[in-house]
Structures are given as C-alpha cells and as structure tokens.
Amino acid sequence: MTTRRRILKLVGGGVVLAALGGTAFYVANAPSDEARIAWREAGTPAEYRRRFLSYALLAPNPHNRQPWLVRLDGEDSLTLFCDLDRRLPETDPFDRQIVLGCGAFLELLSIAAAREGYAAEITAFPEGDPAPRLDRRAVARVRFAPGAARPDPMFAAIGIRRTNRNTYTERDVAADLLEQLAASGSVHDVMARTTGESGLVAKLRDVTWRGHETESLTPKTMKESIDLMRIGKAEVAQWRDGLVLEGPMMELARMTGMISREALLDPKSEAFRMGLDMYRPKAASARAFVWLVNDHAGRASELNAGRAYARLALKAAELGLAIHPWSQTLQEFPEMRSLYDEVHALIGDGKRVQMLVRVGYADPVIPAPRRGLDAHILGEGQS
C-alpha cells in the first residue's frame, strides 16, 4: 500500500479531509515555496563572489545540514569554514561526510566562477588537517583569478540537480550512460565505478537496505535523523534544512498525531514501521549503482570525493537519471562496522569507498530547501 493510501486509511482520511476542506487543504499544505527561494535567486547577487556562492549553496550535502560558513577576504578571495554545530556526530563521527558536502560546495563554486571566466584556486585545509574531528580551522581558501578559466558545460545542470528518493521504475540504465557517469565522477584523484549487472546490483540492494535498517534500529543514530526531520510546512519554512516530511498527507498525519518525533523514534509504533516500509521498495528498486573510491589520504581526499560526487550528480541530472546516495554502510559508527567491512570487501578493491549511490529512473522531485546566502556569510570579525 502506498504511504498516501496508508495514511488516509489510518486516519480515516476521506472523512477527515472532507472536514478540513478537501482541495483547500491540499493547496494550503503544498510544499513550502518559501523554503526554496534560493533556487530561484541563484545568480542574482551583484557582487561576484556572492553570485558564485549563490550557486554553491545548492550543493548536495549530508542531511541537508548546509554547514558552510564563508568569510569574504579582500577583493578576490574567500575562506570556507564548517559550522561545527551542523555536523552529524552519531552517523558521521569523524566528520568525513560533512567534508564531502564541503567538497561538493567548492565544486559548484568553481563551476559557477568558471562560467564568468574566473578560475577558483582552491587550497584545501590551509592551516593543516584537523583530526580525528574538524575544528575551527579553515576548510579551504579560495582565490578567484579572472580570465583564467573557461565555462564548464556542467553549469547548466546546477539548478536541475536533485537527490531523488522515489521508487525507481523498472527501466535499466544503458551501459553508455553508466560510462558517462563514471567518467564525470573520475576526477580529482577519485575513481567512479558503476554496475548495472543484476547479480552485483542485487547484492548492493541487499547490503544498502541492511545498512538502512541498522541505522534506523540504532537509537542514537536514528535520533540524530529524527531530530533533523522537519515535519510539516511550518517547520520546513522555519528551518529550511534537514530531512523534510512535507505535503498534504504528511500534514494530515502530523495533525492527527500519527507522525511525531516520539512515534518515529519508537520501533513499535506504526509511524516507525511505516518509515521502514516506505524505504524498503525504494532500496529494492535500484537499477544500477555508482560508487566513488580513493586512497583516503587526509582531509583533502575527502574534499576531492565531494567534488567528484558533485560532478557525477550534475552529469546524472543532465542525462535525466535519478540518483540517491545510500551511504549508511559507509558510516563509521560501531554498530555499522560489519556492514562497512562487507561493502568494502564487495566493491572497495582495496580502496576507501566514499559514496555509494543508487541510479535509475523515477518521477521527478522538487528541490530540497536551502537556507539562503545570508545564512552562510560571516560578518566582520566572525570565524
């Protein structure tokens, strides 16, 4: 049963919806437009670095935390910091994935700059590598050199790229498209590998699903995600980040108390079971996978993996492919250890797997919220 039908059945939906005013309820509870303004405003700031940044903040990033803080330096440079409060300590205990999200941001920044002829000269972790976790030191310094870059065709895909978590259709991805994806993600010393071969796809579907279950059934990692869920239009518009549960059905479920943070955290609740039931067919519908590997030599290699992922995601958007990182098995919390080892034995080839992503075709999704440029720019004296 679809989530929609299930919610309607559970809350006696027909009657409830009629009481709430049917169509008017649907219209009033459509996904928040306000939370997505940044997608429309990209490219509008007058100052050139702000203009490039207005595209960079559309980058994919873990749990949509958008942890980017930027200090504009002088007339031609900037420094990127990570907002340390926006990390994911339970699922990402060494901040590896958060750094990947910073890499994706830098790649989009660089593509946006190149469109106007500027080369973004990026120095990764200029004050040294923070370990085992990030600290207040800069993630990257960027200087923009005019007239030193040529436009990158990937620019056109920035505004249409999405993470697509829908169930994928039963349509295979042609080998030449997978090759194009692999080529786009094989940059910055990262190698992108793909498979559409049914035996390996079946194994990867299975292991990614078990990773999803493990994260959901580990109370502290599940709580981290639940805390970042934005349930209903008002929360989405207020936060403009995190994992959104939005739209008329979710609103109905929220209003009737069927979905709440408490219920989502309780493995015995209907809401918790529904969450798992909603994701199971999605994992089972993966038609192909792509993954990124590298030597994982220091923080710069994490930034590089994020940069490679951004290019791969843009290429997927250009090719009309749906993609969805399913990366729980790559996370370094103790309960995931055996699945981490299993995935590395399966596809790691002696390297570090940095991203694992399902690929296919699916109904389109709307853009994820963004907090907007002002949320990322540090004022004088802040860092």
Ligand X SMILES: Cc1cc2nc3c(=O)[nH]c(=O)nc-3n(C[C@H](O)[C@H](O)[C@H](O)COP(=O)(O)O)c2cc1C
Residues that bind ligand X (CB under 6 A): 60-64, 97, 100-101, 104, 162-163, 165, 309, 324-328, 368
Closest residue by Cα to residue 115 from 146, 152, 140, 75: 152
Contact present, 359 and 173 (Cβ < 8 Å): yes
Residue type, 313: A
Closest residue by Cα to residue 126 from 292, 303, 259: 303
Minimum distance of ligand X from residue 60's CB (angstroms): 3
Nearer to ligand X, 14 or 364 (CB): 364
Nearer to ligand X, 165 or 280 (CB): 165
Nearer to ligand X, 13 or 232 (CB): 232
Sequence-ordered list of residues with C-beta below 8 angstroms from that of 56, at least 6 positions apart, any chain: 68, 105, 106, 108, 109, 112
Q: How far apart are CA 180 and CA 186, in angstroms?
A: 10
Nearer to ligand X, 149 or 240 (CB): 240
Minimum distance of ligand X from residue 27's CB (angstroms): 24
Closest residue by Cα to residue 376 from 145, 180, 102, 28: 102
Nearer to ligand X, 31 or 62 (CB): 62
Minimum distance of ligand X from residue 28's CB (angstroms): 24
Sequence-ordered list of residues with C-beta below 8 angstroms from that of 339, at least 6 positions apart, any chain: 207, 210, 211, 214, 328, 329
Nearer to ligand X, 13 or 185 (CB): 185
Q: How far apart are CA 245 and CA 260, in angstroms?
A: 11
Q: How far apart are CA 114 and CA 124, in angstroms?
A: 19
Nearer to ligand X, 338 or 383 (CB): 338
Nearer to ligand X, 57 or 173 (CB): 57
Minimum distance of ligand X from residue 61's CB (angstroms): 5
Residue at token pair 């600290």: 135
* Strand-pair category, 243-245 with 229-231: parallel
Contact present, 294 and 185 (Cβ < 8 Å): no
Dig out the tokens for 10 from the structure.
Answer: 């559970």
Report CA Rg, the chain: 21
The packing angle between helices 270-284 and 198-217, to 10°, is 160
Nearer to ligand X, 149 or 204 (CB): 204
Minimum distance of ligand X from residue 10's CB (angstroms): 24
Residue 340 has φ and ψ, to the nearest 5°, of -55, -50
Residue at token pair 């094989």: 186
Minimum distance of ligand X from residue 326's CB (angstroms): 5
Residue at token pair 């995935």: 343
Minimum distance of ligand X from residue 325's CB (angstroms): 4
Nearer to ligand X, 31 or 60 (CB): 60
Question: What DSSP assignment string belongs to 349-360?
Answer: TTSEEEEEEEEE
Minimum distance of ligand X from residue 7's CB (angstroms): 21
Q: How many helices (H) and strands (E) does the chain have?
A: 15, 10
Minimum distance of ligand X from residue 100's CB (angstroms): 4
Minimum distance of ligand X from residue 382's CB (angstroms): 25
SS3 call for 252:
helix
Residue at token pair 């700059």: 113
